[in-house]
């Protein structure tokens, strides 16, 4: 049986850092509130002249180097993001061209914070069913571009960044299972009220920013992520105690703790980056994976569960032997 296996990881974070103390000067908030309610201490903000493709290219170079692949080896590019450079061409083609990757399928997915999980799951299917040999998968976001910086409910939460992986076929396991889900009935709890075919003229104006009914999102996120994580293990016939690492979406430390508790997993087995990155939406899981791999915690052959939840709502998980 052919498995898909992550052959290399990488991340890129923009230089500029915005701390909770900086935010105290911008809106009525406090470092204490942000830390205790969300776990965030600082977040990175893309420079004015940086767009999502710039962040993606940097993260991809690191992942390609880690996997020992060159641009000619790559035969597919999939990018999860809700903040692409342009409406079209899609960001994956921009990244493909910038990296010198020869002609191949290149496309993006916009499933909010689940973007990377959806993209990785898609790569897994193309490898298993369609003979793809080397897929570049990126989760990237410049979400701070969509923020109303006078809205304390949202401006303290988000950050920018990119995470990338190279996925290749392997006889060794590999990705063991992927589970994806979505339920559009929750669309009004978390959304951005402007897009290419609706109210585009309002984008970036004071009138619109990310709209979120935080506490309602919180409740559904805790319940859904708990269910997603336990289902991934149940379907694979794997006991919770066998899991080496949980690499969760980094939206809120309290959501992460609740999921770990549901899995009976000590927090020592959870990769947490929310304090340094904030919520980077589609970039959060691949960046957290890269952090865990590069600091030596996540080792080859270990059992890793990645999960995410975001606007839509959308959600998903990937269970793998790293």
Residues that bind ligand UT7 (CB under 6 A): 29, 33-34, 37-38, 113, 152-153, 156, 214-215, 217-218, 221, 251-252, 255, 279, 309-310
Residue whose beta carbon is closest to ligand UT7: 214
- Rounded to a whole number of angstroms, the minimum distance from the CB of residue 92 to ligand UT7 is 22
d(CA 242, CA 244): 6
* Pair of tokens at residue 322: 């790293």
Please indicate whether residue 113 is annotated as part of the active site.
yes
Helices (H) and strands (E) in the chain, counts: 10, 13
Contact 245, 186 (CB under 8 A): no
Please indicate whether residue 249 is annotated as part of the active site.
yes
Candidates 113, 134, 142, 155; catalytic one: 113
Candidates 90, 142, 155, 249; catalytic one: 249
Please indicate whether residue 279 is annotated as part of the active site.
yes
- Rounded to a whole number of angstroms, the minimum distance from the CB of residue 148 to ligand UT7 is 13
CA distances from 25 to 22, 137, 156, 159, 317 (A): 6, 37, 12, 18, 38
Return the number of the residue (190 or 320) whose C-beta is nearest ligand UT7: 190
Return the number of the residue (98 or 254) whose C-beta is nearest ligand UT7: 254
- Rounded to a whole number of angstroms, the minimum distance from the CB of residue 49 to ligand UT7 is 27
- Sheet of 175-182: strand order equals 175-182, 314-321, 303-310, 245-248
What is the distance, to the nearest Å, from the Cα of residue 317 to the centroid of all Cα atoms in its chain? Answer: 11
- Rounded to a whole number of angstroms, the minimum distance from the CB of residue 255 to ligand UT7 is 6
Return the number of the residue (29 or 302) whose C-beta is nearest ligand UT7: 29
> For residue 240, with 0-12 CB atoms within 10 Å meaning exposed, 13-18 middle and 19 or more buried, which class applies?
middle
- Rounded to a whole number of angstroms, the minimum distance from the CB of residue 24 to ligand UT7 is 9
Return the number of the residue (109 or 255) whose C-beta is nearest ligand UT7: 255
Return the number of the residue (215 or 241) whose C-beta is nearest ligand UT7: 215
Among 295, 250, 252, 296, smallest CA distance to 273 is for: 250
Among 224, 177, 179, smallest CA distance to 319 is for: 177
Q: Known catalytic residues? A: 113, 249, 279
């Amino acid at each position: 049986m052919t498995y898909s296996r992550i052959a290399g990881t990488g991340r890129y974070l923009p230089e500029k850092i915005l701390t909770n103390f900086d935010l105290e000067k911008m809106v009525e908030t406090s470092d204490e509130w942000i830390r205790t309610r969300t776990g965030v201490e600082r977040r990175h903000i893309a420079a004015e002249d940086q767009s999502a493709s710039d962040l993606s290219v940097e993260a991809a170079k690191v992942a390609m180097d880690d996997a020992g692949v060159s641009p000619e080896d790559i035969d597919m590019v999939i990018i999860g993001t809700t903040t692409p450079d342009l409406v079209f061409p899609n960001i994956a083609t921009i990244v493909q061209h910038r990296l010198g990757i020869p002609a191949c399928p290149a496309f993006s997915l916009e499933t909010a914070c689940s973007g990377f999980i959806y993209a990785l799951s898609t790569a897994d299917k193309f490898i298993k069913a369609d003979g793809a040999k080397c897929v570049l998968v990126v989760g990237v976001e410049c979400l701070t571009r969509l923020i109303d910086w006078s809205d304390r409910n949202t401006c303290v939460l988000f950050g920018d960044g990119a995470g990338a992986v190279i996925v290749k076929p392997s006889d060794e396991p590999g990705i063991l299972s992927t589970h994806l889900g979505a339920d559009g009935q929750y669309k009004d709890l978390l959304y951005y009220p402007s897009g290419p075919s609706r109210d585009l003229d309002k984008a970036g104006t004071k009138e619109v920013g990310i709209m979120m009914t935080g506490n309602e999102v919180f409740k559904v996120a805790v319940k859904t992520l708990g269910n997603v994580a336990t289902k991934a293990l149940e379907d694979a016939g794997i006991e919770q105690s066998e899991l080496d690492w949980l690499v969760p979406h980094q939206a809120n430390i309290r959501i992460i703790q609740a999921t770990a508790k549901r899995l009976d997993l000590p927090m020592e087995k959870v990769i947490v980056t929310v304090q340094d990155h904030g919520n980077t939406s589609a970039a959060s899981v691949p960046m957290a994976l890269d952090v865990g791999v590069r600091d030596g915690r996540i080792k080859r052959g270990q059992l890793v569960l990645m999960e995410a939840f975001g606007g839509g709502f959308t959600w998903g998980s990937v269970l793998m032997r790293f």
